[in-house]
Amino acid sequence: MTKPCDVFDYQRLARRRVPRMFYDYADSGSWTESTYRANASDFDRLKFRQRVAVDMSDRNLETSMVGQPVSMPLALAPTGLTGLQWADGEIHAARAAEKAGVPFTLSTMSICSIEDVAAHTSKPFWFQLYVMRDRDFIGRLIDRAKAAGCSALVVTLDLQILGQRHKDVRNGLSAPPSFSLNSLLQIMARPAWAMRMLGTKRRGFGNVIGHVKGIENMTSLSEWSAKQLDPKLSWDDIAWIRERWGGPMILKGIMDPEDAKLAAKTGADAIIVSNHGGRQLDGAPSSIEVLPAILDAVGDDLEVHIDGGIRTGQAILKALCLGAKSTYIGRPFLYGLGAAGEAGVTDVLRILRNELDVSMALCGERDIHHVGRHNLYNPEVFEGNKWR
């Protein structure tokens, strides 16, 4: 087989190697998926200025995120059920991120627990928090992340109510997964995946099972999780979380300048411009479209990161040129993981790094800190949050 050249090669491989219900869980949006598609396609609206006869040697991609050094302005976003793309998937993805020198963010709804990942990595990773009704559990979850040495907390704000994803409904996928004849046939069609899953004991939600009173198996977890999304989540809760955590805090799910201003007032270190990968409010704008207005709203009050639609190193560069401090990938690393495990994630990160590096050079820049709107042919395309 020809070695994959880009993220899309890994996407095609993952589709063939992961049972459909789990592949679709990762690669889907809500309702018509219009926002899911726009997240990626809107990057194409931005064009680069190509420069020639300039010194392109000795290039540097190193920077920092919330005060922590990174090899390039990229982090692995939190993704639920990662360990069902590949057995022990969170551990493998965290190891790949560690080798690449970028942050890995473990989801609350991961298959491998905080302690599992900490035991199999040598550097701190980040932890993502869903704010649930059971505040006692949330407090203990924050304490566990601190005890494991997690170096930043990412609080997701846009999952107070679950957006409907039609592919999951049609596949009969629930959280936690329940198995029907249809799903069992999907698993039988992926024997290599099934053998890997049989070889691990990590098949439930490791951060929850055994850590909530009465939740000892997947059946009891299903009843508990259905009631835990908290529609009453408020900025007061964020203040409580910040005090309990006491370290770098990032707020994920900001899509409006007014919310960005409110987030800045919480004392957060960074916000992530994100629409949950198009998995919540279908019909919302893409992350890249709202980025300039959010940057205008908060200025230098905190770091502004972006998540959603990034499939190439060129998309990373475009986001940085518009003013984002850093970027996140979710689906691209899941494609690599589902296709080839840890080696696949490692290669996806290599591909993105190379695309970013070469594109930056061809724009006439040698240092990632020097890129900006001057490197774009049409930087005004999203000004005023309207198409030009």
| pTM of the entire predicted model | 0.95
Q: Which residues contact 209 (CB under 8 A, 6 or more apart)?
A: 215, 216, 217, 218, 221
- Between CA 338 and CA 20 the distance in angstroms is 11
Residue 375, pLDDT > 70, answer yes
Residue 386, pLDDT > 60, answer no
Confidence at residue 235, expressed as pLDDT on a 0 to 100 scale = 96
- Between CA 171 and CA 80 the distance in angstroms is 17
E strand intervals along the chain = 63-65, 68-70, 74-76, 105-106, 126-130, 153-156, 249-254, 270-273, 303-307, 326-329
Q: What is the DSSP letter of 77?
A: P
> Coil, strand or helix: which one is 4?
coil
Q: Which amino acid does the sequence have at 365?
A: E
Confidence at residue 388, expressed as pLDDT on a 0 to 100 scale = 37
Topology of domain 7-381, CATH? TIM Barrel (3.20.20)
C-alpha torsion 209→210→215→219, nearest 10: 50
Give 249-270 pLDDT, tens digit per residue.
999 999 999 999 999 999 999 9
Give 78-129 pLDDT, tens digit per residue.
999 999 999 999 999 999 999 999 999 999 999 999 999 999 999 999 999 9
> Coil, strand or helix: which one is 272?
strand
Confidence at residue 176, expressed as pLDDT on a 0 to 100 scale = 62
Higher-pLDDT residue of 212 and 340 is: 340
Confidence at residue 201, expressed as pLDDT on a 0 to 100 scale = 95
The average confidence (pLDDT) of the chain is 94
The DSSP secondary structure of 206-228, one letter per residue, reads TTTTTTSTT--SHHHHHHHHTTT
Q: Provide the pLDDT confidence category of residue 354 given band limits of 50, 70 and 90.
A: very high
* Range in 172-181, 283-292, 304-313, 364-373 the model is least confident about: 172-181
Active-site residue 305, yes or no? no
Confidence at residue 387, expressed as pLDDT on a 0 to 100 scale = 40
From the list 120, 166, 276, 374, the catalytic residue is: 276
Beta bridge partners of 294: none
- Between CA 276 and CA 97 the distance in angstroms is 21
- Between CA 132 and CA 243 the distance in angstroms is 17
Measuring CA to CA, which residue among 286, 291, 315 is closest to residue 29?
286
Q: Beta 270-273 vs 303-307: how paired, if at all?
A: parallel
Count of C-beta atoms within a 10 Å radius of residue 202: 19
The arithmetic mean of pLDDT across residues 11-28, rounded, is: 97
